[in-house]
Amino acid sequence: MKNTDKDYNYFLEKKHFYVSELHMGTDGLESVSDYWGPYNTLKSAQKSFKKNIINDKFLNHWNYAVRGPSRLRKGVDGKSTYKSIWYSDGTLKKYRW
């Protein structure tokens, strides 16, 4: 599935996870294309991310992300919260020093 409809509101997704390509512009994120999914669990989306993105030497992992249902996240200060549809891709341990 490749969803590139500019009118699609990604915050309305309620239960599935997708591996998405991020299209960045000069002002930030311009659009999102879903290439793999839907997945029922975050773990299965992370496995797909590793299989399809990390193991492909022609794709840059920083151009892709795992997105899913909207959730509340803690801010950097630890006091505030904000809504986010972005999840960990499960590869952070691989890139630690």
pLDDT in tens, 43-56: 999 999 999 999 99
8-state DSSP, 59? S
Residue in the structure block whose two tokens are 């994120």:
29
- Does residue 49 lie within any of the structural domains? yes
What lies within 8 Å, CB to CB, of 86 at 6+ separation is 65, 66, 67
- Does residue 3 lie within any of the structural domains? no
Q: Which residues of 45-71 are buried (b: 16+ CB within 10 A; e: fewer)?
A: bbebbbeebeeeeeeeeeebbbbbeee
* Full residue range of the structural domain in which residue 22 is found: 10-95
Chain-wide mean pLDDT for the chain?
A: 85
Count of domains forming the chain = 1
The model carries a pTM of: 0.80
Longest dimension (CA), the chain: 40
